[in-house]
Chains A and B, each alone.
Chain A
Amino acid sequence: MKKLLMATAACALMPLAALAQDKPEALKVGVTAFLTGPASVFGVPAKDAAEIMVEDINANGGIQGVPLELTFIDEGAGAEVLTTEYRRMVENGADAMLASISSGNCKTIAPLAEDLKVINIMWDCGTQKIFEAEKYNYVFRSQAHAGTEMLATVAYLLKVKPDFKTIAVVNQDYAWGRDSWDIFSAALKALRPDVEVVGEFFPKFGSPDFSTEISRLQALQPDIILSTSWGGDLDTFVQQASQRGLTNTSTFVLPLAESSLERLGSSLPSGHIVGARGDHYWNHPERRDDADFKAFMAKFEAKTNAKAIYPVFHMSQGLAALQAAYDKAAEANGGKWPSEDQVIAAFEGLEFQGLGRPVSLRSDHQGIEAQLLGTSVQGGDLPFATLENIMIFDGAELTTPVGEESVAWVSSLKPGWVDTLTVDAYEN
């Protein structure tokens, strides 16, 4: 009987014992990113950046004295392999996960992270639907969503080209291409109901040829051509359009072109609108003179021989969120290593800063991130377009309020709303 009582008492005390955490030898973090496939244009720079950042964090004593240890999972191997690897990594003791680039993968992983009870930071995916459909305890997003990004694009367009009459869209035929157009067109309809949509094209994802669309667009002559495409698709579209002179007759609005500027070289002429999925730009007007920013950019360019693009910034925000949450939780815990629940509590209302402006987390775990857009300009010292007429928008004003659905919310905006926004403008 006595033995039984002892055992019961021991069992009852177990959870308490677990609370008084010892510092682990390393903070194990799994990162999912595309290392293969078309989206590796984002995943590979992000991985390079993460390696530099972790080296820096560890050289400065790690997180609360604990070194950070990253393991990468390739999203390019497909959702099934991804979830298996993700599960395996969590079951082998990963402390937190950063997943993922693909919106589809985020949708798969968010409920999985909840099941596995592991902290998951959605560091790059764009879909706005995850927190609008469900409440999560373990899942956070260290960046904006498609709603904020598209609304910022509409706002910039209306500010720099207030009088356009017609628009056509050429988006990739998959969830992102469709969803981003839903939000963009809803916002446009609410803010400029007189604009006519003259063409909607959704070529296959990974299409090698846009010749027919370009002929059609030359015949239609819209004032504005929107494309939320990215990677090889965007490069091909802009190159083919520029070869055939379409870039001289219509203004292109390209919300993801910041990630293609260097590859496009001279093919993207001056005068087209370029977005960056947040305030991300290698020559960020508010950050370019800061020592940490300059030091990182120098290291990144030396390592990869390329300018940093937005996934690099998103990675910095994901890691900054993790570090800030652990620091905040440790402070609240009297300097001792925090438990997982304490870290989760620390995420509420967390503010952190990666390479851009500071980002804050809302009560629904959605990140509020500033948005930078600019207009392409050629003829500088570099063999590719840079940005001028840059505007940085405040993220909070552009993000769908908690509990509302993005398309419905942007549809409720009124003409003139754009003039109420907080904007900081920079010449270049």
Chain B
Amino acid sequence: MNLTLFLLALFDGIAYAALVFIVAVGLTLIFGVMRILNVAHGSLYAMGAYLTASLTTFIVSAGLPPVFAFPCMLVSAVLIGAVLGGPLEWLLLRRIYHKPEVLQLLVTFAIFMILEDVQRLVWGTQPIFQSTALQLLGTVRAFSVNYTVYQLILLPIVAVVLLFGLRFFLRRTVAGKVILATTEDREAAQAIGIDADKVFLLTFIVGAGLAGLGGALASPTTSILPGIGADMIVLSFAVVATAGLGQIEGAALTALMIGLGRSFAVYVWPETQVLVPYVIMVAVLLVRPEGLFGSPSARKI
């Protein structure tokens, strides 16, 4: 493998990792705060993608400038977070925080199944492709290989902005600190007057919005069809488990490892491409069962 191929594999890996991170970070945020493994995250991702594609198609057919495809993504993400995520937490999840984990998993899985059918009902079963946003940015040439600006430049930028934005939000703002405090110890936080219910609702809306944003950003690059949510949730779980549940920086690092591992596999030994994310996960968990950045949790008496 010469330097050119090495760099090509690096580019591909980073572009892929960016998208994986954006989806996984929402999942890990929700888990970190609420201790709920949200299987429905996958369908929020899919709904974000479908919604963006529909909005963009509408805008293009209405004769508006195609650059509006980008605001469509944000609008979809906000809609998924507020209109779908909000009521989900408020009406359903709120009732099961104190129930056993198995029940929590089953409930979010049920939501996942229901939303999958909703997608089929609304958008049908034929694949949808809406790449206006991606085509708008054009391609860039590196070592006689064309990359789309959207995947090679825009997605990694969004991922980095998101990583540092979240860090800043959680560590430097009051709302973020309140969330962190609730994560650390819910009872103690409530004792000093933090409204834990509100924190949970806010976190879930943000997490769901991130899933929607992931779907929105993925939508111009791929066919949107039934089942994309399930695929994404499996990969996100791998990232979140490897990173250590609730670890944002860990999710970024793991997404990068998985992205690079996968792209180097395609260059060196394509047959192992599917295996790589899970090999990385197993390797990390064997050495650090709590994940890369996770810390062993002290048992409460």
Contact = CB atoms under 8 A, between A and B. Distances in A.
Interface in A14-58: 35-38, 40-41, 44
B14 to A, nearest CB: 11
B226 A208 contact: no
B134 A212 contact: no
Interface in A195-247: 199-204, 206, 208-209, 211-213, 215-216, 218-219, 231-233, 235-236, 239-240, 243-246
Nearest to A170: B270
Q: Is the interface of B mostly helix, strand, loop or mixed?
A: helix
A287 interface: no
**Best-buried of A35, A216, A246, A264 by chain B (most CB within 10 Å):** A216
A218 B144 contact: yes
Contacts of A40: 125, 226
Contact of B147 (A200, A215, A235): A215
A173 B125 CA distance: 22
A244 B262 contact: no
Contact of B15 (A36, A211, A231, A245): A211
B71 to A, nearest CB: 22
Contacts of B8: 215-216, 219
A264 B232 CA distance: 24
A129 interface: no
B222 A209 contact: yes
A246 B145 CA distance: 9
B5 A243 contact: no
A263 interface: yes
Contacts of B16: 209, 211-212
Interface in B108-129: 120, 125-127, 129
Contacts, number: 111
Range of interface residues on chain B? Answer: 35 or more
Range of interface residues on chain A? Answer: 35 or more
Nearest to B4: A219
Given A37-B226, A240-B221, A216 B274 contact: no
B56 interface: no
Given A37-B226, A215-B11, A263 B139 contact: no
Nearest to B232: A208
B181 to A, nearest CB: 37
A40 B151 CA distance: 29
B218 A208 contact: yes
A38 B226 contact: yes
Nearest to B225: A232
A147 B5 CA distance: 36
A240 B126 CA distance: 18
A245 B129 contact: no
A244 B146 contact: yes
A219 B143 CA distance: 8
A206 B227 contact: yes
A145 B266 CA distance: 31
Interface string B5-38: 1001101110110010000000000000000000
Interface string A101-136: 000000000000000000000000000000000000
B225 A244 contact: no
Given A211-B16, A236-B222, A245 B146 contact: yes
A264 B151 CA distance: 20
B270 A202 contact: yes
Given A215-B12, A239-B129, A243-B148, A36 B218 contact: no
Given A208-B228, A216-B8, A219-B144, 14 more contacts: A41-B126, A44-B125, A201-B266, A202-B271, A204-B274, A208-B218, A208-B221, A208-B231, A209-B16, A215-B8, A215-B145, A216-B266, A240-B222, A243-B148
6 contacts: A202-B271, A206-B231, A211-B15, A213-B266, A218-B144, A267-B129
- Ranked nearest first, the 6 interchain pairs of A and B with the lowest CB-CB distance are A232-B223, A40-B125, A232-B127, A212-B12, A208-B222, A232-B225
